[in-house]
Structure 1
Amino acid sequence: MTTKTPSFKKSMLRLNEIVGALEKNDLELEEAIALFEEGLSLVQTCDGQLKNFENKVASLLESYQEDANHE
């Protein structure tokens, strides 16, 4: 079974929901810890996606510059 990684936008929306819920400070400790743990996982996912996006942009810029130098 493969788990599909949620889109960056969906992850960020969920993170905002989690932060909002935790800021209200009216959760049971167990629920707050579960949300915090989910949030940390989403942060790791988003960080990985951002690094992939950065690498792709850097690669595209490098290819563009190489093409421009050959003209």
Structure 2
Amino acid sequence: MCEAKLCHNIDVQTVATTLALAEQHHCEQLKDACLGFIVSPGVLPAVMKTDGYKHLVPSCQLVLQEILDKIAAVA
């Protein structure tokens, strides 16, 4: 129930932190929602400016690869 609620409250400022936590706690639905939000047109540059993203880079390398894979699939 919490995972579903969090999926509806994703925004630029919280998505990277939420994605890291979703990965850490194996919340696939939430992880997919975060990845989908991040790859939406024009969103990634804003996300990359957040502190959450700065934490995501060194701590979740595999998630960064998933972001790139999703962007490549959309393009």
Larger of the two Rg values belongs to structure: 1
TM-score range, shorter chain: 0.3 to 0.5
By percentage of residues, which structure has more helix? 1
**Normalised TM-score (structure 2):** 0.32
TM-score, normalised via structure 1 length: 0.33
